[in-house]
């Protein structure tokens, strides 16, 4: 994982090379993502700057990646998990210059043009420059795990960067680049390259997935994502999702299975990391899971005041004022710093499971399978603005890469192909039961059957309650009443939201920056559409999982 910055201008007589000092200065604003090395490619029509976090081929693999003939230059932020398989299926040999997994993008482009992008299984955002054709591509992975922004400066040059902070001062139209799309300069608009039949509920009706097939597919996903040449670990909150990731990773770390197609777990002893307030539900559950999995476990506590102090830095890094995202990013931001101090550069995390399997507590209120399925699709479409953004930016603030096996594209296709009737929760059936049943025996029952706790709740209920109390002391009733005039884009609805918006506006002024953050009411992380599932949702809307009355159980 790294950061990229590109300046592109195809107009006759254009020369972006004089912008090199400025591009370097702006790229430095996101160097926390890639502290290991900086690389530059410059020619009159294209300027690429890359800040590298070396995970695969740390001694080589410096970017931008060039083809031997000098025609292609590629700046990538990401990991391509199926690169070896793709390399083996090339119709003609490609002269690879490094051991980087990302260099296969150049090879695919040479052989299949933009069609090759759809074959990538990984997390990525890239700019590819073809000097011979005077053409460039900008692309982002289907779920938007890797962040990407773009905009134009006052001279109509296109700027692209991993984080908004590198562009906000230059581009009045800065915006989020859409996941699952490629912008081809010869086409002139983003084009989707990722469309799956399972998006339509009818394609999934009556489709069953056997528990052993679901389990095997997820184990393969975890194995693929253990591709690393540096020390790694797992985030272990003690919830179902992170514990399943840890269980699979621990199995491969012990066995060190070698498979040229899927990578190898290089480090035989698995380290796990957890964080929470003193006495938090997550810390207690994580200890149980870690003992059962025999990981080298590192639990960390933080005080409310430490989280409060970090909030301005957190919002600057995550580039969002969304309430749930800020709440959950803060402990993750603090944890990432401790992980980096221990010399670990990559961790596996459990994001994506709740969106695929309907794990949030409000899914208990889904009226039927179609509504349930449609909401999972909506949640997956928005992940790049919420959990993917949080996991990526909060961890990369300290140069730690977070990988998300539940969003592995092969696993996603299988898990989303099943009829949502098998996923539905309700009286007597816990959320994500189909996933729990598939992994029977892999975890202690108190972990395997632990109810969903959103990360911002699980670190300790005092965290969210304290934030609300602190916001109430900072934001007056009159300030909140005048919020629509001060913040016309997505005006905050609560004092806590107002406070975060103030901090965001300080770092990212202007309507364009504000529009990169989604708005709308939510109950326990629902999309706005799901508010209609229960009349009580509209009155009690709050992103905390505890807001779903009659479903959430207080473990204390």
Active site residues: 2
User: Which contacts of 439-445 are long-range, i.e. CB under 8 A and separated by 24 or more positions?
Assistant: 439/215, 439/244, 439/247, 440/211, 442/215, 442/244, 442/247, 443/240, 443/243, 443/244, 443/247, 443/289, 443/292, 443/293, 444/288, 444/289, 444/292
- Do 248 and 469 form a contact (C-beta atoms < 8 A)? no
Q: Please tell me the distance from the alpha carbon of residue 459 to that of residue 55, in angstroms, as a whole number.
A: 29
DSSP labels for 433-467? HHHHHHTTTSS-HHHHTPPP--HHHHT-HHHHHHH
What element of type H or E holds 181? strand 181-184
User: Which one, of 483, 436, 414, lies nearest residue 207 by Cα?
Assistant: 414
User: Which one, of 483, 487, 484, lies nearest residue 510 by Cα?
Assistant: 487
The residue count of the chain comes to 556
- Do 238 and 65 form a contact (C-beta atoms < 8 A)? no
For 207, the token pair is 């489709």
For 439, the token pair is 């992994």
Cα 202 to the center of its chain, rounded Å: 28
Residue 11 to residues 23, 135, 414, Cα–Cα distance (Å): 19, 12, 45
Q: What DSSP designation does 194 have?
A: -
Q: Residue 364: CB partners within 8 Å, gap ≥ 6?
A: 425, 426, 431, 548, 551
Q: Residue 63: CB partners within 8 Å, gap ≥ 6?
A: 2, 39, 50, 52, 74, 75, 76, 100, 102
Helix axes 281-293, 240-255, angle to 10 degrees: 20
Tell me the backbone φ, ψ of residue 160, rounded to 5 degrees. Answer: -135, 140
Q: Residue 452: CB partners within 8 Å, gap ≥ 6?
A: 239, 240, 354, 359, 360, 361, 431, 432, 545
SS3 182: strand
Q: Please tell me the distance from the alpha carbon of residue 281 to that of residue 287, in angstroms, as a whole number.
A: 10
Helical H segments across 28-88, by residue range: 83-88
Residue 330 to residues 211, 337, 545, Cα–Cα distance (Å): 36, 11, 17
- Do 463 and 327 form a contact (C-beta atoms < 8 A)? yes
Strands annotated E in 185-280:
190-192, 232-235, 271-276
């Amino acid at each position: 994982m790294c950061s990229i910055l590109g300046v592109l201008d195809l107009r006759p007589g254009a020369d972006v090379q004089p912008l090199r000092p400025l591009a370097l200065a702006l790229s430095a604003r996101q160097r926390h993502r890639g502290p290991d090395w900086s690389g530059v490619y410059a020619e009159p029509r294209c300027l690429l700057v890359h800040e590298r976090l070396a995970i695969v081929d740390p001694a080589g693999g410096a970017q931008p990646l060039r083809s031997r003939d000098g025609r292609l230059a590629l700046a990538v932020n990401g990991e391509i998990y199926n690169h070896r398989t793709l390399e083996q299926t090339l119709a003609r040999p490609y002269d690879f210059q490094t051991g980087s997994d990302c260099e296969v993008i150049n090879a695919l482009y040479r052989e299949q043009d933009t069609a090759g992008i759809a074959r990538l299984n990984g997390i990525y955002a890239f700019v590819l420059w073809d000097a011979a054709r005077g053409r460039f591509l900008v692309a982002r992975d289907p779920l938007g795990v890797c962040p990407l922004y773009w905009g134009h400066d006052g001279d109509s040059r296109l700027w692209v960067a991993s984080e908004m902070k590198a562009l906000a001062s230059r581009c009045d139209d800065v915006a989020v680049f859409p996941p699952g799309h490629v912008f081809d300069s010869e086409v002139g608009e983003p084009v989707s390259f990722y469309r799956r039949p399972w998006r339509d509920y009818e394609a999934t009706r009556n489709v069953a997935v056997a528990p052993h097939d679901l389990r095997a597919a997820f184990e393969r996903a975890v194995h693929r994502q253990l591709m690393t040449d540096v020390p790694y670990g797992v985030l272990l909150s003690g919830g179902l999702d992170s514990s399943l990731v840890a269980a699979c990773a621990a199995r491969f770390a012990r066995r060190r299975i070698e498979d040229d197609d899927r990578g190898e777990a290089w480090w035989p002893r698995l380290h796990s990391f957890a964080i929470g307030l003193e006495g938090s539900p997550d810390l207690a559950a994580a200890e149980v899971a870690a003992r059962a999995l025999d990981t080298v476990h590192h639990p960390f506590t933080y005080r409310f005041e430490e989280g409060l102090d970090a909030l301005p830095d957190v919002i600057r890094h995550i580039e969002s004022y969304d309430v749930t995202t800020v709440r959950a990013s803060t402990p993750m931001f603090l944890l990432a710093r401790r992980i980096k101090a221990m010399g670990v550069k990559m961790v596996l995390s459990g994001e994506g499971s709740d969106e695929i399997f309907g794990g949030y507590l409000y899914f208990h209120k889904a009226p039927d399978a179609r509504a349930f399925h449609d909401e999972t699709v909506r949640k997956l479409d928005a992940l790049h603005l919420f959990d993917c953004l949080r996991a990526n930016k909060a961890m990369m603030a300290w140069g730690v890469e977070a990988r998300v096996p539940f969003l592995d594209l092969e696993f996603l296709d299988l898990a989303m192909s099943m009829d949502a009737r098998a996923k539905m929760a309700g009286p007597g059936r816990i959320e994500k039961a189909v996933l729990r049943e598939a992994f029977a025996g892999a975890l202690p029952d108190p972990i395997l059957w632990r109810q969903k706790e959103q990360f911002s709740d699980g670190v300790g209920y005092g965290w969210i309650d304290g934030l609300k109390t602190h916001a109430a002391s900072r934001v007056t009733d009159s300030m909140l009443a005048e919020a629509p005039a001060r913040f016309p884009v997505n005006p905050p609805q609560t004092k806590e939201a107002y406070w975060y918006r103030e901090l965001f506006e300080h770092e990212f002024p202007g309507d364009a920056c504000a529009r990169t953050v989604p708005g709308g009411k939510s109950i326990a992380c629902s999309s706005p559409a799901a508010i209609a599932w229960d009349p009580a949702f509209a009155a009690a809307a709050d992103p905390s999982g505890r807001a779903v009355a009659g479903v959430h159980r207080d473990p204390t």
